[in-house]
A and B are shown apart, each in its own frame.
Chain A
Amino acid sequence: MKKRKFGLVLSSVLAASAILGACGTKEEEKTNKENENASPGESNQEGAFSVAMVTDVGGVDDKSFNQSAWEGVQEFGKEHGLKKGDGGFDYLQSKSDADYDSNLNALLRRDFNLIYGIGFMMEDSITAIAEENPDNHFAIIDAEVKADNVVSVLFKEQEGAFLAGVAAAKMSKSGKIGFVGGVDIPVINRFEAGFFEGAKAVNPDIEITSKYTAAFDKADLGKVTANSMYSSGVDVIFHAAGATGNGVFSEAKERKKKDPNANIWVIGVDADQYEEGKVDGKTNVTLTSMLKGVNTAVVDISNKAKKGEFPGGKTLTYGLAEDGVKLADSRGAIPEDVLKVIEEYKEKIAKGEIKVPEKVKK
């Protein structure tokens, strides 16, 4: 009897560990079909300029900057008639932080001319590997690495988020808006700071609630957070929380479905999240999205490197002026007069008349 019970406990724990383990893997199980259409078997021309990238743990289909970077790499490949695979373009996914080194080295061994590390988490790996391989070229997104063979790419998220703040404050009827962040790290702080500044610029009395969920992959947490915000009277939420933000969308959609006249909006992040906000054929809760042009930056740098003008050792910063961050088409959700105000601020920031801080002043 004892033994049987023990076996039961055993198997249930094994099952639990499998489930718990699965929590961490997030969207990795979904295959991105489009990416597979170029078969690796076809050969590339000798001497072609080849690029490859290593994703962080978000994976290549994170609907965020990894995906955006891969789109950039693909675009560059298409432009120059390259095929996926050796000598063309490719990517490797990292399942944990420990995989960055191995993946970067694996791509190095396959002789890619330029290798991208996507995400600030890869800073240490790129630093170490660039030092060990001084003749190879690297690029890192969202972090700064000081080395002659590395180009660092940073974005002024705060500038794009400023415009999102302007839009939110203008569209709010209750005078209360909200920010849902992922993990409390400098990159996300920049989104928050810009959003605060932008909203305060057009409405100094606006009430802003800000909450970090401490995760990029927990849609349920996003939903709960959005629920409490909307319940307290907030009517526009800007999220910078990756897949956690999907929960914000589902909460907003549920509320909109119940009451089609409710003033409920979500501002998306990184990519155009219009599709996420679809309630039915006519209604959509996505006000706009703050786009981060990782793809543009990737294409830009790859082309420079191909021409032999690799900007090694430099830190390239993409802001509103460089078209690196911007707001997505609102598809009529934002009226003309508000768009005009947004455009005014955009110009002021691009010209440097307004400096947007990177951290919320407390």
Chain B
Amino acid sequence: MSNRVINILVPIISIIIGLIVGAIVMIVSGYDPVQGYSALWTGIFGDSYSIGNTIRQITPYLLAGLAVAFAFRTGLFNIGVEGQLILGWLAAAWVGYAFDLPKIIHLPLALLAAAAAGAFWAFIAGFLKAKFKVHEVIATIMLNYTALYIANAVIKKLSDGGFKTERVHESASLRSPFLRELTDNSSLHYGIIVALLMVMVMWFILEKTTRGYELKAVGFNKHAADYAGMSVNKNIILAMTISGMFAGLGGAMEALGTFQNASIKPGFTGIGFDGIAVALLGANTPLGVVFGASLFGSLKYGALNMPNAAGIPEEIVSIIIALIIFCVASGYIIRVALQKLRKKKEGQ
């Protein structure tokens, strides 16, 4: 078996193992796994409505995953994607309703505002790390809470004591009647195009620019990069800022696409934290993130149909979905097993 075959086999086998373990859980708790999985399948791909909503669910995961992966490549742990995303969400929603502009200016402006808000929040952590050696994990975790409560306070102020901002204007919305019609009134919006564009942007920065080379070099070995004359501090700040930009755009997807407003949140959305898993599943490469986000988004959305069509309680569904993701994430075990198998064969 060549390395390429192994690379393709590992995720497939891990998904199959995950499905089998999930099936066992269903059988043990007295539900029909065939019915359960067909409900999951139709929940994801059943009709144009489901497909539309699945893609909509994947969109923010893509950007959150990119954000984590990008920082990772420079050796930084951006746990603050959640907070950057929340501020991006707020910024996009505010620009979306506070201005009256033609679409061609308004929509990009709202997206830019979200990117800037996310970038600024991540910049704080990057700056602290570069100048004062404050560990970015602690800084970003704390900034998550700050972001959540700042956003809630600002939304309250903006809405005169209410719990959500006004609806964004048509000119800033990512929604389109065309996509809605195409997918039987699902909440699919143009955000997926923005997200896929960002996948290309990340690939381009990392693989095709000098700056990207420097960022990666710092990630591989800080001291070597320093010795080679690269400014480690500058690259740390830059990596965090770009990472936060992706996260902020993830928030814009929710503000301008899915929800069309920003509302007070009693707790974290979870998208930012799931982004960590998405990035790790995708081995921190742009294409890998597309795979990770698709898996995460599909399972998350399709799972909604399991209680609906197969009568499986929410709790069991959560266990099954977590098990599948767990198995995919522990693909390393399977890789080792396959390699052992290969060595055995070669030995014979």
Query: Quick one: CB contact mask for A75-112 with B, threshold 8 Å, 1 for yes?
Result: 00000000001000000110111110111011100100
Please tell me if B94 contacts chain A, counting CB pairs below 8 Å: no
A201 within 8 A of B: no
Tell me the complex Cα distance, A10–B276, Å.
10
Shortest distance from the beta carbon of A145 to any chain B beta carbon, whole Å: 14
Chain B residues with CB below 8 A from A216, complex form: 266
Contact at A29–B280, with CB atoms within 8 Å? no
A9 at the interface (CB under 8 A from B): yes
Q: Which of A9, A31, A98, A217 contacts B313 (CB 8 A)?
A: A31
**Which residues of chain B come closer than 8 Å to A10, judged between CB atoms?**
280
User: When the two chains form their complex, are residues B185 and A132 in contact, meaning their CB atoms are under 8 A apart?
Assistant: yes
Q: Which of B243-266 contact A (CB under 8 A)?
A: 254, 258-261, 263-264, 266
Interface residues of A in 11-41 (CB under 8 A from B): 13-14, 16-17, 20-21, 23-25, 28-31, 36, 39-40
Closest to B305 in A: A106
Asked if B57 and A98 sit within 8 Å, CB to CB, the answer is yes
Q: Would you call A93 and B307 a contact (CB within 8 A)?
A: yes
The answer to whether the Cβ of A214 comes within 8 Å of any Cβ in the partner chain is yes
Is A185 engaged at the interface, CB distance under 8 Å to the other chain? yes
Tell me the B294-335 residues at the A interface (CB within 8 Å): 301, 304-305, 307-308, 311, 313-315, 318, 329
- Residues of A close to B53: CB separation below 8 A: 101-102
Report the Cα distance A17→B53, complex, angstroms. Answer: 25
Whether A182 sits at the interface, judged by CB under 8 Å, is: yes
Interface range on chain A (Cβ under 8 Å from partner): 35 or more
Contact of B301 among A25, A40, A102 (CB under 8 A): A102
The minimal Cβ–Cβ distance linking B188 to chain A, given in whole angstroms, is 11
Alpha-carbon separation in the docked complex, A214 to B153 (Å): 10
How many whole Å from B322's CB to the nearest CB in chain A?
8
Whether the Cβ atoms of A21 and B264 lie closer than 8 Å is no
CB pair B307 A92 closer than 8 Å: yes
Interface assignment of B121: CB less than 8 Å from any CB of chain A: no
Asked if A260 is at the interface (CB within 8 A of a chain B CB), the reply is no
- Least Cβ distance of A188 to chain B in Å? 10
A215 CB-CB contact with B under 8 Å: yes
Q: Which residue of A lies closest to B275 (CB)?
A: A17
Q: How far is the CA of A106 from the CA of B186 in the complex (A)?
A: 11
Residues of A close to B308: CB separation below 8 A: 92, 103, 106-107, 110
CB neighbours (8 Å) of A206 from chain B are: none
Pick out which of these stretches binds chain A: B156-164, B199-207, B233-241.
B156-164
> Would you give the 0/1 interface string for A29-56, flagging 1 where the beta carbon is closer than 8 Å to chain B?
1110000100110000000000000000
Docked-complex contact A14 and B305, CB < 8 angstroms: no
Q: Flag whether B123 is at the interface (Cβ < 8 A).
A: no
Query: What's the nearest-Cβ distance from chain A to residue B114, in Å?
Result: 17
Chain B residue contacts of A98, Cβ below 8 A: 56-57, 254, 258-259
Give the residue of A16, A31, A107, A214 whose beta carbon is less than 8 angstroms from that of B315.
A31
User: Do B79 and A13 have beta carbons less than 8 Å apart?
Assistant: yes
Report yes or no: B277 in contact with A14, Cβ–Cβ below 8 A: yes
| Complex interface residues of chain A between 173 and 214 (CB less than 8 A to chain B) | 182-186, 189, 214
| A282 CB to nearest chain B CB (Å) | 36
Q: Is A29 touching B57 in the complex (CB atoms < 8 A)?
A: no
Chain B contacts for A339, CB-based, 8 A: none
Are A28 and B163 in contact, with the CB atoms below 8 A? no
Q: Which of A25, A103, A185, A359 contacts B163 (CB 8 A)?
A: A185
Return the contact of A28 from the options B274, B314, B329 (Cβ within 8 A).
B314
A-B contacts besides A21-B274, A216-B266, 9 pairs, CB < 8 Å: A13-B79, A14-B329, A17-B273, A23-B268, A95-B304, A96-B269, A105-B185, A121-B263, A189-B161
Interface set of A (CB-CB < 8 Å, partner B)? 9-10, 13-14, 16-17, 20-21, 23-25, 28-31, 36, 39-40, 59, 85, 92-93, 95-99, 101-103, 105-107, 110, 120-121, 124, 132, 182-186, 189, 214-217, 359
